[in-house]
Chains A and B, each alone.
Chain A
Amino acid sequence: MPFTPTLRLLAAFAFFVFAASAIAKEVSLQSAWNLAEANLFNDSNKVFRDLKGQPGIDERERAFGEAVTYLNVQPRTPQNIARAQELLKTLTSGEDMYAQLAGFYLARIDEDYLTPPEPERAKAAYLELLQRRTGNPLVESGAVRLALMAELSASNPESLREALLATRPLAQNLLTREGRRDFHLNLGRALLKAGDLDTGLEELLAGDAEGITRPLSERGAWVAIAEAARVTDKKEIAAKYYRKFLEKYGRDTRSFTVELRLKELETPQP
């Protein structure tokens, strides 16, 4: 077949398209993490894979990045999850941050990514990681998960209360402010729901003491503390938290009710 001008034109067009798709992009671990942070998981995963074997790259960091992005590469398939598991398993030996995070994400995969999930294996893994006292806030968020799983496991109010109280000692393993705060707040909420107002209030107060920075969480927590304190007749705590709420979150659907509650508390009883 003669190589006619038409064919040459078509070939040039095809080459242009191919070349255009291979535009040079910044390829570095930082850029890969930036992409992951921006929810661009497919792009991030590709960069992590492209960095494999490159000189000067921390291979453990790279492998970890590839693994966690596999969890969200689209479409999410059992094969990608399996790839993530394989990579994470290679990282668990050692005591560095990547070993800890790899253990955490293996537990996450057991908890929520497998069909069917493996909650018992996940629980054991979270517990083991907590007992290591890593001081890593992300790893310590496993305590929140353990409390939530305990809440779900109970089938009646009494066993629910017991299951939740059994998780309280986990707080001793939490070295970070974030870890303690989130654990106390979640446990507190769960205990209030289970009807144990006194212990629930203690936990919420402990969580608040660590410092809640997210406004949506803070206002909810303050109202829950104030209400629990009011119902359990701890008037000073209730009044304090109603006041705090009104000062900081005056514009809220609950403000009117909170004002009324505060007035009731501040009105001397006959």
Chain B
Amino acid sequence: MPLPISKTKALLEWKLYLFIVPSVLLIAIFSYYPTISAIYHSFFMWGGGDTKEFIGLKNFTDILGDKVFWTSFITIGILVIANVFRMIPSIFLAVLIHRLKSDRWQYWYRVMVVIPMIVPGLVTLFIWKFFFDPNLGVLNAALDASHLKTLLVHMDQFFGWGVFYEGVPTAWLGEPALIIPALIIWGFPWIGAVGVLIFLAGLQSIGTEVYEAADLDGVTPFQKFLHIELPLIMTQVRLSMVLMIIGTLQGFGLQFLLLGPDGGAGGRGMVPGLWMFNRAFIAGEFGYACALGLFLFVFILGLTWINNKFVKVDK
């Protein structure tokens, strides 16, 4: 830990502080200034141009009566829960890689998991959009070829969903009832490179003596995972979960690209971030969108605080 220096010495060496000025400036301009501007504009009726009118707390009181905004939390809640389950394949793969005896193979599997990261997320989204195409998409083609479509049609007739019909291509992004399943299915098999690497790092910090002791006790592989590996990587799991929840709550790029600014058929894909975008760029209510953003920020901050305070990890 660096030793503290006296004030006089710090003042004499003031030129050294100039080295942090560029970073501070960049953070101030690109992070803090937009945030402060958004807070400022949330108190105005603002159309995005130079004209604005101060309206006090009206934007915030309007949020209370905004049905679309509150309903969007139901959708985002479903997606958050789905994303918790979507973390499982990454954990599973990390465990599998960790248990490989050969270090060389471990390395190559890590490389193979990381390589897809070079494909920009946007490109992946567009590829998935093509997968969902009712006429040319891979998903419908796969369901037809595997006869799963026939099974789905029978299930539809039994449950009365009204979305799967024989001989009619399924519009995954065009049917209200299929919007949320489509948003959950996308990204299959849900293996995120960053998640795998984080969990792998956690697993590799587990000492071999723990495994040796487990072997001596006759613990099965699954029991090892359940009672040794999972508890010891809970810090990483918790970190991933916090980042995932924040990302899911704030995010709307997925929904915007796949469904458009209205949230798709029936508005089923509307999430708070997308509603904020809709108000700003479709309705032209930038001031109101800033207020929504501020509300979302406070909400996420509250959730993070709850998570930090009440979700404890026993080591």
- A residues with a Cβ closer than 8 A to B are 1, 4, 6, 72, 74-78, 115
Complex contact B14–A1 (CB within 8 A):
yes
Residues in A neighbouring B11, C-beta threshold 8 A = 1
Question: B54 within 8 Å of A by Cβ?
Answer: yes
CB nearest to A1 among chain B residues: B11
Residues of chain A contacted by B154 (CB below 8 angstroms): none
Q: Does B15 contact A (CB under 8 A)?
A: yes
Residues of B contacting A77 in the complex (Cβ-Cβ under 8 angstroms): 53-54
Supplied contacts A74-B50, A77-B53, 12 more A-B pairs, CB within 8 Å: A1-B11, A1-B12, A4-B15, A74-B51, A75-B44, A75-B53, A76-B51, A76-B52, A76-B54, A77-B54, A78-B54, A115-B55
Q: Select from chain B the residue with minimum beta-carbon distance to A76.
A: B53
**Proximity string of chain B (1-37) to chain A, C-beta cutoff 8 Å, 1 when within and 0 when not:** 0000000000110110000000000000000000000
Interface residues of B (CB under 8 A from A): 11-12, 14-15, 44, 50-55
Listed residue (A1, A4, A75, A78) with the most chain B CB atoms within 10 angstroms of its CB: A75
A43 → chain B closest CB, angstroms: 11
Contact: A75 with B52, CB < 8 Å?
yes
Contacting residues, chain B, for A76 (C-beta < 8 A)? 51-54
B53: which A residues are within 8 A, CB to CB?
A: 75-77
With A1-B11, A1-B14, A6-B15 as contacts: A74 and B52 at CB distance below 8 Å? yes
Complex Cα–Cα for A6 and B44 (A): 43
Q: List 18 A-B contacts (CB under 8 A).
A: A1-B11, A1-B12, A1-B14, A4-B15, A6-B15, A72-B51, A74-B50, A74-B51, A74-B52, A75-B44, A75-B52, A75-B53, A76-B51, A76-B52, A76-B53, A76-B54, A77-B53, A115-B55
B50 vs chain A, min Cβ distance (A): 5
Task: Assess whether B14 is in contact with A75, with CB atoms less than 8 Å apart.
Answer: no
> Which residues of the partner chain B approach A6 to less than 8 Å between Cβ atoms?
15
CB distance from B161 to the nearest CB of A (A): 46
Instruction: Please give, as numbers and ranges, the residues of chain A lying within 8 Å of B14 by CB-CB distance.
Output: 1
Considering the chains assembled together, what is the distance between the CA atoms of A76 and B54 in angstroms? Answer: 6
Q: Contact: A75 with B54, CB < 8 Å? A: yes
3 closest cross-chain pairs (CB), A and B: A76-B53, A75-B52, A77-B54
Chain B residues whose CB sits within 8 angstroms of the CB of A115 once the complex forms: 55
Q: Which residue of A lies closest to B53 (CB)?
A: A76
For B50, the chain A residues whose CB sits under 8 A away are 74
Residue of B nearest to A115 (CB): B55
Residues of chain B with a CB closer than 8 A to A72's CB: 51
| Docked pose: A1 CA to B53 CA in angstroms | 47
Q: B262 → chain A, closest Cβ, in Å?
A: 30
Rounded to whole Å, the gap between the CB of B152 and the closest CB of chain A is: 49
> How far in angstroms is the closest Cβ of chain B from A122?
19
Min CB distance B40 to A, Å, is: 9
Distance in angstroms from B56 CB to nearest chain A CB is 9
By a CB distance below 8 angstroms, the chain B residues around A78 are 54
* A54 CB to nearest chain B CB (Å): 28
Q: How far is the CA of A4 from the CA of B18 in the complex (A)?
A: 14
- Residue in chain A with minimal CB distance to B52: A75
Least distance between B287 CB and chain A CB atoms (Å): 10
User: How far, in angstroms, from A72 to B51 measured CA to CA in the complex?
Assistant: 8
A contact residues around B15 at 8 Å (CB):
4, 6
Give Cα A74–Cα B40 distance, bound, in whole angstroms.
13
Alpha-carbon distance A166/B126, docked complex (angstroms): 64
Q: How far is the CA of A249 from the CA of B269 in the complex (A)?
A: 48
Q: Which residue of A lies closest to B51 (CB)?
A: A74
Say how far B200's CB is from chain A's closest CB, in angstroms: 48
A261: min CB distance to chain B, Å = 39
B72 to chain A, nearest CB (A): 29
* A78–B53 alpha-carbon span in the complex (Å): 9
Nearest CB in chain B: distance from A4 CB, A: 8
